[in-house]
Amino acid sequence: MKTVIILIALLSLGARNVTPPNNSASVVFIPTTKDNQIKDTDKPGHLLVRPFRLDIAPPSSGVQFYRDGIIFLSHSKIEEKVPAGHISFGALKIYSTVIADSVPGDCIPFNIEGSVVFPSEATTFSSDYNIMYVSLIPEKSNSEKIFRADFTPSGWKISDEPINICVGNSIYSHPCLSADGTFMIFSSDMTGSTGGLDLFITRKEGDAWSKPKNLGKNINSSGNELFASLDSRNNLYFSSDGHPGVGGYDVFISTYNGEEWDKPQNLPDAINSRDDELAFTICREDNRTAFYTTRTGRSRTQLNLVTCPEEAFNISQRCLAMAQAPQAIKEPETQPATREVATRAPEIKNESITSDKNVAAAPAPESKKKAPSMNKSAQTNMVPEAKKDEIVYRVQILANTKPVGTQNITVAGKNYISFEYLYKGGYRTTIGEFSNLSEATRLQNTCRQNGYNQAFVVAFKNNVRSTDPSLFK
């Protein structure tokens, strides 16, 4: 198969942050100290949410569960021995790692044929891990399509052509396969979409897939619905910037009733914040481990690990309980590395847990907002406070058909760490970050005088590329 590149469907869902692993480098856990010690709990009705330090490279926004661990996109620098004082970003690669209890896991390059780069959250696997579906931008195309890959003795082999439902110039992105493999949910702007990117469902019909069906206005909004994830009972998690929420992109959960999905419920500030919450993915094998990322307006991304300490319950039960009855979370005087999220006992029958993965990651300090306590009527009538738009200006200097990730770029003797985002099917490289247009314009002129003749200023509103003329006055 010729070289292909994946999408990350979404307006610059880039990431910068963190610390990496390898097959055999190690997932970096922050050493436990007196100040950052992880707090465990045996209190009923709790989820644990803690930072997970892992080097996720742009344009990826998350991880995906794979066999006994996860896969993630990172730089090959994690395999290099770099002298102190030197900077090396390396090439982009997919890595897999086993998550162990309080023990750094060894990481290995993901075994895939050919030269393929893709954000790991844009993959989904069959329950036996012999089939993978991944969204890629094929050569001679400007929009991502879903491809099937099969596991062979020599590694994963991706089909030359996308699956049969992918037609025309529409986007087909971030597939999520049900546990039994009978249907798949994905994001698309195909005919029938009500907003930007909607969630669609397609069902397995022999070796092909059925005509996609929009999940409807109950699920889709006038905005974007992305990063679908299903638990073992087909309860649906996804990120949306169109449904009422507390931030830009919030995580929502929708209960599967056996035929369709009920009205989505916003997860309270145990998960969601005034920033973007993206790529929530849950381990279907135990339903008690999940990851998601929080991205601030300035593109800093924090990977978070969610666990359910109670063996009698799972994450979906606790998330539904939180969505139905959020409670105040006490904010201590010092910020802990781990959030203990109290939830009311869910009015759901307990599910039997087939396995229990005790996943532990090192903590890192994080800020936390206090949720006000309120009665039911107050919750019903509550209108989320409007989030102030954050405007950031950058200077775009390059455009590529494939992601190049973060780079160290020198212009007129000054070093800049680049920021990459996806726009209209291309990966755009920018430098600088300014709160006003005049400073960005000065850097634009400097770039043009130093070989970047087509450099120009781009604006981002809440970290989404904006062409609003009023931003350039």
Q: Which residue has the tokens 């206005």?
A: 217
User: Is it the case that residue 34 has pLDDT exceeding 70?
Assistant: no
Q: pLDDT band at residue 365, thresholds of 50, 70 and 90?
A: very low
Q: pLDDT band at residue 375, thresholds of 50, 70 and 90?
A: very low
DSSP per position, 119-151: -GGGEEE-TTSSEEEEEEE-TT-SS-EEEEEEE
- Mean pLDDT confidence for 124-147: 91
Per-residue pLDDT, 301: 81
User: Is it the case that residue 241 has pLDDT exceeding 60?
Assistant: yes
User: Is it the case that residue 6 has pLDDT exceeding 70?
Assistant: no
User: Is it the case that residue 359 has pLDDT exceeding 60?
Assistant: no
Per-residue pLDDT, 406: 79
Per-residue pLDDT, 141: 78
Q: CATH 2.115.10 in the chain, residues?
A: 4-31+39-381
Burial of 180: CB neighbours in 10 Å, binned 0-12, 13-18, 19+: exposed
Q: pLDDT band at residue 467, thresholds of 50, 70 and 90?
A: confident
Question: How many separate helices (H) and strands (E) can be counted in the chain?
Answer: 3, 32
User: Is it the case that residue 376 has pLDDT exceeding 50?
Assistant: no
Task: Quick: pLDDT tens for 289-317.
Answer: 999 999 875 557 888 999 888 777 888 88
Task: Write the CATH number of the domain with boundaries 391-472.
Answer: 3.30.70.1070
Q: In this structure, which topology does domain 4-31+39-381 adopt according to CATH?
A: Tachylectin-2; Chain A (2.115.10)
Dihedral angle sign, alpha carbons of residues 329, 334, 339, 342? negative
How far is CA 387 from its chain centroid? Answer: 21
Q: pLDDT band at residue 78, thresholds of 50, 70 and 90?
A: low
Please state which of the ranges 75-84, 371-380, 447-456 shows the lowest mean pLDDT.
371-380
Contact 368, 331 (CB under 8 A): yes
Alpha-carbon distance values, 87 to 77, 90, 91, 301, 417 (Å): 9, 9, 13, 20, 11
Per-residue pLDDT, 309: 80
Q: pLDDT band at residue 79, thresholds of 50, 70 and 90?
A: low
Per-residue pLDDT, 285: 86
Per-residue pLDDT, 377: 33
286 vs 45, higher pLDDT: 286
Q: How many residues does the chain have?
A: 473
Per-residue pLDDT, 313: 81
Number of Cβ within 10 Å of residue 426's Cβ equals 14
- Look at residues 409, 400, 282, 293 and name the one whose alpha carbon lies nearest to residue 13: 293
Q: pLDDT band at residue 387, thresholds of 50, 70 and 90?
A: low
Task: Quick: pLDDT tens for 395-453.
Answer: 999 887 667 777 888 898 898 988 888 877 677 899 999 999 999 999 999 998 888 88
Q: What is the pTM of this model?
A: 0.65
Six-digit token pair at 60?
């990826």
Q: pLDDT band at residue 149, thresholds of 50, 70 and 90?
A: very high
Per-residue pLDDT, 325: 61
- Look at residues 394, 295, 362, 246 and name the one whose alpha carbon lies nearest to residue 8: 295
Kindly state the percentage of the chain with pLDDT values over 90.
36
Distance separating alpha carbons of residues 401 and 426, to the nearest angstrom: 5
Q: pLDDT band at residue 342, thresholds of 50, 70 and 90?
A: very low
Per-residue pLDDT, 362: 27
User: Is it the case that residue 220 has pLDDT exceeding 80?
Assistant: yes
Compute the mean pLDDT over every residue in the chain, rounded to the nearest whole number. Answer: 75
Per-residue pLDDT, 130: 96
User: Is it the case that residue 334 has pLDDT exceeding 60?
Assistant: no
Per-residue pLDDT, 277: 92
Q: pLDDT band at residue 194, thresholds of 50, 70 and 90?
A: confident
Q: CATH 3.30.70.1070 in the chain, residues?
A: 391-472
Contact 253, 247 (CB under 8 A): no
Per-residue pLDDT, 135: 93
